Chain A
């Protein structure tokens, strides 16, 4: 039992430790077991907090796109790939070297570099 828990810990360890206070992330662990504690729920940001970028999100977060920063090819590409403001996005995981990241949008999976995800401002509620 302890071993199994240890394995679960290894496999479902949050990939990015940016918000230490946040609840444990995975909605479902390696064995498909549901975790009850805050599974996949985005922790609410305070009003005064600065903009949250997609690159700040952790695996399992489900958020909405509020707006895109910058102009040019990246913006165009993001728009045509369905990353338009209002779209719902689920961060699936980060690559083993912590870049790029994989997310689900409009029912399919998309990989983008962390630097590109920085151009996307997100929000926990539907804008």
Chain B
């Protein structure tokens, strides 16, 4: 049997902008609506993630854009500007706002701002079960008619309410704009007078740009500089419009000493309170929230910090110890594969390229994948349960004295394991400045790849004090991170007065689907974006090490391009007491820090299969080579501090979205490494040790 469709219904594409407060369940709703049909990218010009998904419904396509979570449409964070510009510039067919039903009053503040924008809107009243669990009853139809847009109860984690929501979105998308009713907040006689005057002046021009005149006038009175620039870009300063705004704000500020902003916020909240008074009723007494009782332990005065450290330890152990198991499988698999290829391919440059260059490069990327997946599963759980905000609450005092945010703590600690996931973990920080600062100092935390170098050198040159020396290095890395963080926050990354003010969302059970999707997102992004760059870099480094050919044979390490280069730069390292072999291994160590050890093995011709625990041959070779303990100590400090490895550099580039910051990171760390190593040598010489 055929389903007959009228000839007039053609498939259409409607654009839906998904907005909402952070923690309102926006991502969960987005996943519930679009499923796996998502495309992840970046917003042009900024490093904020852009997610798009398509939902096929009633023969049409709904193209849903997940906008960043915001509390308001004022324009002082990147996210808010982005959402506002998207809504005004792109004018989506429907704005779908996700409202946290358990936190109606504050969530509706954004609703009011959106309604003033006059775009067709649908509200998903999410977490409706929590609203009812709080002992509240909401008259949804009445709220809907008060706000002038459909309000659909949903529980997106359980997929409840999706069908009516889609139907409402479709109805709104298809209905014409003409019949729409704008809600208007009455801002009081005096303010309304000024709004009216301004609207007369700029309203028409604004409407031509698709911006509601009244909204525009209110923004001007609120002192929104960006909006003003849009209104009169050619006449900043002395234009009549500027003058009119000045006189109006001066007059209003005299009438309302609290300021216009306060008055406007007051009226908006007044409207919300009025609407809720009519629609929301309490069916039973409110009991103290479960979340607050959980927080009796988790942010307790004595227990809070130890519990946080315990969770952190779990995350760390999970990422690096648990991750080591599949890591081992991947390593074994790769070595089997290279042996098999080595045996089956004819010997020559091609086999070398495939085995040493490509397989080595791909292996170097794949090997981190278990770490990344476990870490992001962990972080996703921390965020989705609501604990991440508590972690920031607990650590903020400490981190703030360093010029950082409470949320910086987790990435910094992850840096002890591996800088790559640590740098990716800075995404939990909302402010770009905090993210940048954290990314810049995270590589100073001594990652696990540097440990083999310490073990070799400390074990060889300071056999009795190896443990102390290694501990000193770790501690020094932390101190340097603190110092650099403080320095940067006082100079190049001064705080832009971004307030800490942060919501502590109620504890929630995360949904498996959201956590797994999130983890998969990160994992596949890592493979795609990092993979290509690291692979290319690995091939280049392989080429530099394997050429020029010496009668068809690979050259001796000293004669290869990289060896020659290492010898060229050795004068720069001479003041530090490093020989050219050390210089070359520092260069190859850029691929991954542990490569320093295997390169030393090659250069001292004792074989590259040096195991950190079985390095006797290499140790005696180093001692024979005439390296002094002081030089070895300086070398360890240098390895601790110098440029992040290629994988980390790539991560920094991806996350900052800027070559300049990436180069800065490489440059300042290398300079710092040289300076500290030189200081170590100087102090050592002064104390009478030879180089």
Contact = CB atoms under 8 A, between A and B. Distances in A.
Given A79-B262, A102-B504, A73 B299 contact: no
B304 A112 contact: no
Interface in A59-98: 67-68, 71-82, 84-87, 92-93, 95-98
Contacts of A28: 288
Contact of A71 (B102, B103, B259): B259
Contacts of B394: 95-97
A50 interface: no
B398 interface: yes
A111 to B, nearest CB: 5
B501 A109 contact: no
A95 B499 contact: no
B687 interface: no
A11 B269 CA distance: 37
B265 A80 contact: yes
B72 interface: yes
B103 A116 contact: no
A9 interface: no
Contacts of B506: 108-109
Looking at B102, B499, B504, B506, the one whose CB has the most chain A CB atoms below 10 A away is: B499
A72 B258 contact: no
B71 A74 contact: no
Contacts of A72: 497
Contacts of A73: 76, 497-499
Given A84-B266, A109-B291, A111-B504, A99 B396 contact: yes
Nearest to A87: B269
Contacts, number: 137
A41 interface: no
Interface in B118-174: none
Give the interface size class of chain B.
35 or more
A100 interface: yes
A76 B102 CA distance: 23
Contacts of B389: 111
Contact of B497 (A74, A81, A109): A74
Contacts of B258: 67-68, 85
B500 A95 contact: no
Contacts of A11: 296, 300
A13 interface: yes
Interface string B387-418: 00100111011101000000000000000000
A96 B300 contact: yes
Given A67-B258, A84-B262, A85-B266, A109 B396 contact: no
A111 B500 contact: yes
Contact of A10 (B104, B269, B302): B302
A11 B506 CA distance: 22
A113 B296 CA distance: 20
A108 B397 contact: no
Contacts of B292: 92, 109
Contacts of A81: 71, 106, 501, 503
Contacts of B316: none
B635 interface: no
Contact of A82 (B106, B398, B400, B497): B106
Looking at B103, B265, B300, B498, the one whose CB has the most chain A CB atoms below 10 A away is: B265
A111 B393 contact: yes
B502 A95 contact: no
Looking at B76, B288, B393, B506, the one whose CB has the most chain A CB atoms below 10 A away is: B393
Contacts of B302: 10, 96
Looking at A98, A106, A112, the one whose CB has the most chain B CB atoms below 10 A away is: A106
Contacts of A8: none
Nearest to A105: B106
Given A73-B498, A73-B499, A77-B501, A82 B304 contact: no
B305 interface: yes
Contacts of A84: 262, 265-266, 269
A108 B103 contact: yes
A82 B288 contact: no
B251 to A, nearest CB: 18
A67 to B, nearest CB: 6
B74 interface: yes
Given A11-B300, A81-B71, A82-B105, A74 B305 contact: no
B269 A110 contact: no
Contacts of B580: none
Contacts of B52: none
Nearest to B134: A107
Contact of A111 (B103, B106, B502): B502
A32 B628 CA distance: 66
Given A85-B266, A93-B299, A106-B106, A78 B504 contact: no
B356 interface: no
B301 to A, nearest CB: 5
Interface string B248-275: 0000000000110110011001000000
A13 B301 contact: yes
A32 to B, nearest CB: 8
B457 interface: no
A95 B503 contact: no
B315 to A, nearest CB: 20
Nearest to A94: B301
Contacts of B74: 76, 80
A28 B293 CA distance: 11
A22 to B, nearest CB: 18
Nearest to A82: B106
B300 A109 contact: no
B262 A96 contact: no
B109 interface: yes
B396 A113 contact: yes
B301 A30 contact: no
A122 B455 CA distance: 59
Interface string A1-20: 00000000011010100000
B489 to A, nearest CB: 15
Given A68-B262, A80-B71, A95-B397, A112 B501 contact: yes
A113 B398 CA distance: 12
Contact of B499 (A93, A99, A106, A116): A116
Contacts of A80: 71-72, 74, 109, 265
Contacts of A71: 259
B75 to A, nearest CB: 10
A109 B503 CA distance: 6
Contacts of B76: 73, 76-77
23 contacts: A68-B258, A68-B262, A73-B497, A74-B499, A75-B261, A75-B262, A76-B76, A79-B262, A80-B74, A80-B265, A84-B262, A84-B266, A85-B258, A85-B266, A93-B295, A95-B397, A98-B397, A107-B105, A108-B106, A109-B505, A110-B501, A111-B500, A112-B501
Q: Which 4 A-B pairs have the closest CB atoms?
A: A97-B397, A79-B265, A80-B72, A109-B504
